[in-house]
Amino acid sequence: MVSLTIDDVKIEVPEGTTVLQAARMSGVEIPTLCDYPHLTPYGGCRLCVVEVEGARLLQPSCTLPVSKGMVVHTNTARVREARKFVLTLLFSERNHFCMYCQVSGGDCELQNAAYEQDMTHWPFQPNWDPYLVDASHQHLVLDHNRCILCRRCVRACGELVGNFTLGVKDRGPESIIIADLDVPWGESTCVSCGTCVQVCPTGAIIDRRSAYLGHEADVERTRSVCIGCSVGCGVELITRDNRLLRIDGDWDAPVNEGILCQIGRFLALDDERERIVTPLVRRNGTLKAATWEDALDYVAGRLKPLAGKKGDGIAALASTRLPVESLYLFKQLFADKLNSEMVTSIEEGVTTALSGKVAQELGRPFEGSLERLKSADCVVAIGVDLAENHQVAGFFVKRALPNGTKLVVIDPYDNQLHELAHYALQPQAGTDYELLLGLMSAIVKSGLSRDEPTNLSELAGYDPQVVSQVTGISADTIRAVARLIASSQRPVFVYGKGVTRASSPEVLSALIELARLVGALTPDQSAIIGTKGQANSLAAYMYGLDKPFEVDGHQAVYLALGDDEPSRRLIKRLKGAPFIAVQASYLSPATEMADVVLPVEMWAEQDGYYLNLAGKLQKAHRALVPPQEVRSNVGVLKALAARLGVELEADWRKSLKKRAPINPVVE
Amino acid sequence: MLSQADRRELDDILKKYPDKRSAVLSALYIAQREKNYLTDDDIRDVAQALDMTVTEVHAIVGFYTLLRKEPTGKYLIQVCTDLPCALRGADDFYRRLCRRQGLPPEGGTTEDGLFTVEEVVCVAACDKAPVAQINLEYHEHLTDEKIDAIIAELREKSTEGVTAG
Ligand code: SF4
Ligand code: SF4
Ligand code: SF4
Ligand code: FES
């Protein structure tokens, strides 16, 4: 601990703390601009200067580490003068005619800082030169006229997202933010995660969709969870007058710590499907608006005689985007009460069933938490493209690469991470198993294994030389990768559909064995992560909703689609079903085929729990009020059960943990 | 693009630094040496060789005036026209030079792509003005005749090179 004095108050702070942090700890506010809590201090704007006794010049508090006995003054006349001077320079450097700027009036950190210093104008001539406005990006606009070159966006893009798209070219007054080799932003390597817009302090980076639709003071913020995929990133839903304006990353969410991907931040808002606002019943061949009474009676009437029938009864499918509560009621209603044998999810377990089988054989969970990925020094990604889906997990990997984290990608097919990988292994399709055993055999031979191999005799047949013949990967590469993995301190293994889609669990079992061999799977901690599929695919597995779907001879299909979009494959298979009831938010090819459509809430309108890919249970919150005739997914299932004379239990927690867990479930 | 020889030279330089990125200026110098300017491909090559991102390398190129991104002649003729040199007639000398080479007053590159003429501020040889720095060499106390002779000689040398090669 280091003790120092800030504005006449003595405090003790840990070594390495900056003066700015120390001041905040003792309740002293120092204005800042280039500094941002989640980014490395940069010391560029000099707004945060303070007077340190004994130092000739004012010091930037955001980059200055505390030292013993330091005496700091944050609010002297000299400091206040300097702040005004810094702000004056910033205002006069480019165009800051605030009245035309979308953040003016409360949302601009530059303007706010000036008001805090009681500035109403600045004494210098402004720079009249017009700067470029880059409007080439799909979601964002970069107006260089408002840019103060704080480089928050540059740091966010590199440090948090690992994308390194943004930089600064030239120097002095000519300095300008650029993308890649100074190409239009929309044509750059930007992956549209939008982290930069969330950190920009001025109106320089603007989100097209929410621009001019409301200031911070006019909007409401609801903390929730993104249900774009199984990562389960924390979000803040920004709404005004029951309209969703924007989605921000939640800096306090432990899973993503503020960052989001394009799917979670932008695409979730770009829904152009037509909303269903009233129940629909097919009469004389066309869907007609109906009352809830009629619609529910109709469905119950058709389902009731089919209860208990196997093979020619009811087939029921639920979306893995539904909250846990709905999945539980769905499973009870159709599997336990109506005794149907074809009750599953629209993912049909393709991302979880195999892992479940392996967990059951092992008799314990074998996957670990996502946190491990953030501190890995070697990541082995197999059968998964983290730049395509589960992107935030991919950002954790990409941003760690400059710090020396090694990346091995094993995928016979195209994979966007191949080009970033230290080793991009493309084995012959179907030879992942041989490759993994080859790696193990090389590790054992090099004496680097940290655990006894259980399959020593089998490994003998998988000398890298032999494996190279089958996989097409050279023996030297296999040995080098083996050495790399085995000599890492914190290796993490990520697997995806390429592994779980297989008909047998041998590749996954081999991966688990490899992880164990290098010490990444101990009884109390695992560094294996399966990416799963949609937001609640793990919960669907836990409730047994994970078998392949067939209509076969079933006389009725109940599709609890929620706000999901049915795949073309599903639609094809639904053809010819004698009766189809769809519980959905939007019109789709599935509702077109339906005999009854029951309108339900979409994601932003519902409260409900989600179990992310690592077994973390998180609650999504309602931010919008649904249209009047639209009911909750839970409400519809309950009403249907009541009509069928069936009683459902509401406590979903207990049975969520019943099935052989793939991950320890954390609440 | 970095040639094989360039790469070998760069590899030797890299041995001197614990951190590859420290060699970025040397690497850019090598990449620029032959043609006097850097293409996007050069920048990509350097970024890859030093484990840096292209944007970072591009930012460094932008920061240093001696690293050039505009196509430049094989010979870069820089004439100082700052006050002390101007007092010795360097500004008129420069303008006449541009005119004789068929270039606008702000300079530029000759049609054959051999020479780029440029006005600069101080090359630290005020007492010997008019001065021109041609690539790495200084030519002092220049007159129109002298510079024309130098240009003619260089032009001849390069065309010979072309026919010979
Ligand atoms: S949107 Fe994301 S990837 Fe694109 S420039 Fe901004 S931070 Fe970088
Ligand atoms: S665009 Fe915004 S975040 Fe980026 S440097 Fe300019 S003001 Fe800062
Ligand atoms: S990674 Fe998944 S959970 Fe996170 S923002 Fe993207 S889609 Fe949403
Ligand atoms: S906040 Fe410290 S220099 Fe910008």
DSSP result, A529-565:
EE--SSTTHHHHHHTT--SPP--TT-SEEEEEEET--
Q: Tokens 């409730």 belong to which residue?
A: A543
Closest approach of B66 to chain A, Cα-based (Å)? 12
- Least Cα distance to A229 among A327, A367, A321, A351 occurs for A321
CA A453 to chain centre: 35
Residues 169-188 of A with CB under 8 A from B: 169-171, 178-182
Checking if the pLDDT of A345 tops 50, the result is: yes
Fold (CATH) for A124-269:
Alpha-Beta Plaits (3.30.70)
- Stretch A531-558: mean pLDDT, rounded? 95
Convert the pLDDT of each residue in A277-312 to its tens digit.
999 999 999 999 999 999 999 999 999 999 999 889
Convert the pLDDT of each residue in A204-230 to its tens digit.
999 999 999 999 999 999 999 999 999
For residue B38, list chain A residues with Cβ-Cβ distance below 8 A. none
Checking if the pLDDT of A551 tops 90, the result is: no
Distance separating alpha carbons of residues A197 and A188, to the nearest angstrom: 16
For residue A164, list chain B residues with Cβ-Cβ distance below 8 A. 53, 55-56
Convert the pLDDT of each residue in A137-183 to its tens digit.
999 999 999 999 999 999 999 999 999 999 999 988 889 999 999 99
Strands of the A140-143 sheet, one edge to the other = A133-134, A140-143, A205-207
Residue A220: burial class (beta carbons within 10 Å; 0-12, 13-18, 19+) = middle
A353-530 is a CATH 3.30.565.10 domain: no
**Quick check: A181 and B53 CB within 8 A?**
no
Residue A660's pLDDT band (cuts 50, 70, 90): confident
- Stretch B9-26: mean pLDDT, rounded? 94
The pLDDT assigned to A522 comes to 86
A273 CA distance to ligand 1 middle (Å): 27
A187 CA distance to ligand 1 middle (Å): 12
Residue scoring higher pLDDT (A172 or A485): A485
Checking if the pLDDT of A456 tops 90, the result is: no
**Helix, strand, coil share of chain B (percent; to 5):** 50, 10, 35
State the span(s) of chain A assigned CATH 3.40.228.10. 353-530
Give the whole-number percent of chain A exceeding pLDDT 90: 91
Distance separating alpha carbons of residues A349 and A63, to the nearest angstrom: 50
Residue closest by Cα to atom 7 of ligand 1: A157
| pTM across the whole model | 0.91
State the span(s) of chain A assigned CATH 3.40.50.740. 280-348+544-656
What count of residues does chain B have? 165
| Average pLDDT score, chain A | 95
A266 CA distance to ligand 3 middle (Å): 11
Distance separating alpha carbons of residues B61 and A250, to the nearest angstrom: 37
Say if CB A637 and CB A650 are below 8 A apart: no
According to DSSP, the residues that pair with A423 across neighbouring strands are: A408
Residue A152 CB less than 6 A away from ligand 2: yes
Say if CB A169 and CB B62 are below 8 A apart: yes
Alpha helix positions (H), B64-143:
83-87, 90-100
| Number of alpha carbons in the 13 Å side-chain half-sphere of residue A636 | 32
State the span(s) of chain A assigned CATH 3.30.70.20. 124-269
**Quick check: B62 and A171 CB within 8 A?**
yes
Q: What is the ipTM of this complex?
A: 0.71
Residue A148 CB less than 6 A away from ligand 2: yes
Shortest CA distance from B51: residue in chain A: A402
Residue A200 CB less than 6 A away from ligand 2: yes
For residue A379, report the phi and psi dihedrals to the nearest 5 degrees. Answer: -115, 125
The pLDDT assigned to A525 comes to 87
A533 CA distance to ligand 3 middle (Å): 11
- Stretch A310-339: mean pLDDT, rounded? 96
- Residue B130 preceded by cis peptide, ω within 30: yes
| CB-closest option in A165, A170, A402 to B55 | A165
Checking if the pLDDT of A68 tops 60, the result is: yes
Say if CB A299 and CB A581 are below 8 A apart: yes
Checking if the pLDDT of A597 tops 80, the result is: yes
Distance separating alpha carbons of residues A55 and A70, to the nearest angstrom: 10
| Average pLDDT score, chain B | 91
Checking if the pLDDT of B163 tops 70, the result is: no
The pLDDT assigned to B165 comes to 38
Ligand 3 residue neighbourhood (C-beta within 6 Å): A 226, 228-229, 231-233, 256, 260-261, 263-264, 390-392
Shortest CA distance from A181: residue in chain B: B55
- Least Cα distance to A55 among A89, A78, A80 occurs for A78
A vs B: CB pairs below 8 A: 36
Distance separating alpha carbons of residues A538 and A337, to the nearest angstrom: 23
Convert the pLDDT of each residue in A359-387 to its tens digit.
999 999 999 999 999 999 999 999 999 99
- CATH number belonging to domain A280-348+544-656: 3.40.50.740
Angle made by CA atoms A245, A386, A491, in degrees to the nearest 5:
130
Q: Which CATH architecture has domain A2-75?
A: Roll (3.10)
Closest approach of A178 to chain B, Cα-based (Å)? 8
* Residue A494: both structure tokens together: 């990520």
SS3 A463: coil
The pLDDT assigned to A667 comes to 81
Contact B56/A at CB under 8 A: yes
For residue A558, report the phi and psi dihedrals to the nearest 5 degrees. Answer: -110, 120
* Residue A598: both structure tokens together: 């029951």
The pLDDT assigned to B102 comes to 93
Distance separating alpha carbons of residues A430 and A383, to the nearest angstrom: 11
The pLDDT assigned to B164 comes to 43
CA gyration radius for chain A?
A: 29
The pLDDT assigned to A470 comes to 95
Give the whole-number percent of chain B exceeding pLDDT 90: 84
Checking if the pLDDT of A34 tops 70, the result is: yes
| HEC readout, B75-91 | EEEEEECCHHHHHCCHH
**Quick check: B62 and A170 CB within 8 A?**
yes
- Ligand 3: atom nearest CA of A228 is 7
A493 CA distance to ligand 1 middle (Å): 26
Structural domains in chain B, sorted by start: 4-63 (1.10.10), 75-164 (3.40.30.10)
State the span(s) of chain A assigned CATH 3.10.20.740. 2-75
Residue B162's pLDDT band (cuts 50, 70, 90): low
| Number of alpha carbons in the 13 Å side-chain half-sphere of residue B100 | 14
Residue A121: burial class (beta carbons within 10 Å; 0-12, 13-18, 19+) = exposed
**Quick check: B58 and A182 CB within 8 A?**
yes
Distance separating alpha carbons of residues A503 and A482, to the nearest angstrom: 26
* Residue A247: partners with Cβ closer than 8 Å, 6 or more residues away: A226, A235, A236, A237, A238, A260, A264, A265, A266, A268, A269
Residue closest by Cα to atom 3 of ligand 2: A200
Checking if the pLDDT of A524 tops 60, the result is: yes
Q: Which ligand sits nearest to residue A387's alpha carbon?
A: 3
Probe residue for ligand 3, chosen from A231, A389, A603 as the CB with the greatest number of ligand atoms within 8 Å = A231
Closest approach of B53 to chain A, Cα-based (Å)? 7
Distance separating alpha carbons of residues A297 and A64, to the nearest angstrom: 71
Q: Which ligand sits nearest to residue A149's alpha carbon?
A: 2
According to DSSP, the residues that pair with B118 across neighbouring strands are: B78
Shortest CA distance from A155: residue in chain B: B56
Distance separating alpha carbons of residues A622 and A635, to the nearest angstrom: 15
Distance separating alpha carbons of residues A75 and A51, to the nearest angstrom: 8
